[in-house]
């Protein structure tokens, strides 16, 4: 007798979707991946493809200047405006585009947090509390890759961001485009693939993070 093992079908995890193609999108799978349908994915920026521009608000009291580092962003960068507000003459508190506080920069020192790398240089007139600085990031959908979720990652791969609809296998230096679910759908929890060794609490946290995207696992 020949025994056959049936693999997971593409999209087998789907319960319902939004009209048209709202729920789905083309996602780029990075190198060295072996994904199955229903695998939960992280989201990692490709720094070389992202544009980041720094500026100081025109109404500032101080005349400190801001400049991006030679490597301006990291894989964890977010699309949108980062905002820095001076709290003293030489320190600036930063928020990412989602309003999350990411740290405080000190004039003259490299600030490397939240996905951006920048330096503010003091001028002839000291800054005062409330002076503002900005980093505007343009990161389009195609500037990100979606690896298998890695709960130990620090580059965005630890942030649940999509579900693979199709299998994908990539080798060193290879990428592949597949369709994935990014938002507004219901999925079957039992058909999702979590990172190996993920605890029940970790899986519950992943499910909650997906729900924030409108991906409801039942």
For the cut 90, the answer to whether the pLDDT of residue 209 exceeds it is: yes
Whether 85 and 33 map to the same domain: the answer is no
Arithmetic mean of pLDDT, 23-36: 96
19/55 same-domain check: no
Same domain, 86 and 28: no
Average pLDDT score over residue span 7-31: 91
150 and 200 together in one domain: yes
In a domain, 7, yes or no: no
Q: Global pTM?
A: 0.81
Does residue 82 sit in the same domain as residue 151?
Answer: no
Number of domains in the chain: 2
> Token pair 């490597």 is at which residue?
71
Total Cβ atoms within 10 A of residue 75: 18
Mean pLDDT for 110-115 is 97
**Rounded Cα gap, residues 122 and 97, in angstroms:** 25
pLDDT band of 5, cuts 50, 70, 90: low
Question: How far apart, in whole angstroms, are the C-alpha atoms of residue 53 and residue 62?
Answer: 20
Q: Please give the residue range of the domain that contains residue 35.
A: 14-43+146-217
8 inside domain: no
Helical (H) or strand (E) element with 206? helix 200-212
Q: List Cβ neighbours of 110 (8 Å cut-off, separation of 6 or more).
A: 69, 117, 118, 119
Co-location of 53 and 131 in the same domain: yes
Cα separation, 54 vs 126, in Å, equals 19
Whether the per-residue pLDDT at 9 is higher than 90: the answer is no
């Amino acid at each position: 007798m020949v025994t056959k093992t049936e693999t997971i079908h593409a999209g087998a995890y789907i319960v319902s979707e939004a009209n048209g193609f709202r729920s789905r999108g083309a996602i780029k799978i990075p190198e060295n991946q072996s994904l199955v349908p229903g695998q939960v994915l992280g989201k990692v920026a490709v720094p070389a493809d992202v544009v980041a521009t720094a500026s100081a608000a025109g109404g500032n009291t101080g005349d400190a200047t801001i400049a991006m580092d030679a490597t301006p962003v990291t894989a964890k960068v977010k699309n949108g405006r980062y905002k820095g507000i001076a709290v003293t003459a030489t320190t600036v508190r930063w928020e990412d585009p989602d309003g999350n506080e990411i740290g405080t920069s000190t004039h003259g020192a490299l600030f490397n947090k939240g996905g951006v790398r920048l330096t503010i240089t003091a001028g002839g007139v000291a800054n005062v509390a409330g002076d503002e600085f900005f980093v505007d990031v343009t990161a389009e959908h195609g500037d990100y890759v979606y690896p298998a979720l890695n709960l130990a990652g620090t580059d965005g791969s630890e942030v649940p961001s999509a579900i693979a609809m199709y299998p994908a296998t990539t080798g060193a230096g290879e990428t592949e485009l597949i369709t994935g679910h990014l938002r507004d759908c219901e999925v079957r929890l039992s058909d999702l693939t979590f990172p190996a060794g993920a605890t029940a609490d970790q899986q519950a946290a992943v499910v909650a993070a997906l729900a924030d995207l409108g991906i409801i696992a039942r």
